[in-house]
């Protein structure tokens, strides 16, 4: 798996830094980076097969299999029924230093399910979705930290330093709603319901900048929009998930009830 980081360096999309203070240090093996790494290897193997490159496809398949073999064993947090946010960290969360893991409940784990590469067994995948739904899901997106965490901040306000300090400590991010909806579909198989999870964004289209989606919002109700009022990845991930789920429903509508084959 992929390891990265050094003291004083902010990593991944959770990159807030105030002076020398890295707000969310993620040195080690971040969960979403390694889920994406496995996805990249699987894609390369598939593309190599399309190009009839048997040697390359075998190489990428072997590497993807190695990552998959380590992923659940390394990241699965049985007690919490979700995935560690970082493993092999220089020092883990209090009480978990011996294992060198960060058990902070964050939304980064959702990519281990949404990408659809079977990194987890069915029980684990469903537990990840259910835990994220219970702790992080809002109508506008996923919170960046569980409200049960003592570091949780449900309001994004104040000056630049105050805002940066809570940027990924409870502030919700609409762009994560797309991956969550896809993950929900993968474990529950209900494309219509998964698409309805995105419908909470509809009223938001009349807030902030009309017709588009904001960068962030408060983690606490009423989920006031904050940050950039028109964010590209919020729009892109919503549309990507919506279209994928629309396609899934269209495909299912053409299934024969007798043969269960696509007409």
**Number of other CB atoms surrounding residue 105 within 10 Å:** 23
pLDDT in tens, 157-194: 888 889 989 899 999 999 999 999 999 999 999 999 99
Range of the domain at 10: 1-135
pLDDT in tens, 24-79: 889 899 999 999 999 999 999 999 999 999 999 999 999 999 999 999 999 999 99
Residues 243, 208 within the same domain: yes
**Which tokens hold the place of 146?**
């569980």
Q: With contact defined as beta carbons under 8 Å apart, do 145 and 104 qualify?
A: yes
Residues 147, 93 within the same domain: no
Q: With contact defined as beta carbons under 8 Å apart, do 132 and 106 qualify?
A: no
Q: Please say which residue of 108, 135, 162 terminates a domain.
A: 135
Residues 10, 121 within the same domain: yes
- How confident is the model at residue 91, as a pLDDT? 62
Residues 182, 257 within the same domain: yes
Give DSSP secondary structure letters for 88-144.
S-SS-STT-GGGTEE----GGGGHHHHT-S--S-HHHHHHHHHHHHHHTEETTEEES
- Whether residue 94 has pLDDT greater than 70: no
Better-predicted residue by pLDDT, 64 or 227: 64
Question: Over pLDDT 90: what percentage of the chain?
Answer: 72
Q: With contact defined as beta carbons under 8 Å apart, do 129 and 184 qualify?
A: yes
Q: Please say which residue of 135, 153, 187 terminates a domain.
A: 135
**Number of other CB atoms surrounding residue 78 within 10 Å:** 8
Residues 127, 169 within the same domain: no
Average pLDDT, the chain: 90
Q: Please say which residue of 100, 135, 170 terminates a domain.
A: 135
Residues 6+ apart with CB under 8 A from 75: 31, 34, 83, 84, 87, 109, 112
- How confident is the model at residue 98, as a pLDDT? 55
Tell me the three state secondary structure of residue 193. helix
- Whether residue 235 has pLDDT greater than 90: yes
- Whether residue 253 has pLDDT greater than 70: no
Q: Which of 90-104, 174-188, 199-213 has the lowest mean pLDDT?
A: 90-104
């Amino acid at each position: 798996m992929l390891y990265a980081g050094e003291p004083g360096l902010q990593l991944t999309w959770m990159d807030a830094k105030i002076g020398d203070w890295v707000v969310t240090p993620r040195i080690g093996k971040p969960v979403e980076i390694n889920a994406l790494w496995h996805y990249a290897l699987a894609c390369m193997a598939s593309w190599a097969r399309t190009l009839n490159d048997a040697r390359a496809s075998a190489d990428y398949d072997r590497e993807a299999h190695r990552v998959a073999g380590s992923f659940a064993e390394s990241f699965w947090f049985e007690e919490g029924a979700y995935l560690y946010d970082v493993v092999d960290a220089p020092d883990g969360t209090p009480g978990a230093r011996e294992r060198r893991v960060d058990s902070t409940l964050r939304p980064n784990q959702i990519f281990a399910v949404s990408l659809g590469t079977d990194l987890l067994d069915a029980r684990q995948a469903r537990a990840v979705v259910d835990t994220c739904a219970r702790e992080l899901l809002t109508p506008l997106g996923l919170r960046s930290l569980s409200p049960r965490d003592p570091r949780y901040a449900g309001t994004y306000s104040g000056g630049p330093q105050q805002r940066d300090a809570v940027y990924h400590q409870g502030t919700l991010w609409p762009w994560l709603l797309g991956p969550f909806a896809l993950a929900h579909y993968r474990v529950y198989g209900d494309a219509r319901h998964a698409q309805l999870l995105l419908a909470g964004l509809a009223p938001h289209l009349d807030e902030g900048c009309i017709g588009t989606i904001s960068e962030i919002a408060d983690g606490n109700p009423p989920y006031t929009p904050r940050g950039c009022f028109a964010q590209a990845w919020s729009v892109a991930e919503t549309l990507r998930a919506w279209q994928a789920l629309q396609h899934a429903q269209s495909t299912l509508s053409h299934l024969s009830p007798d043969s269960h084959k696509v007409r």
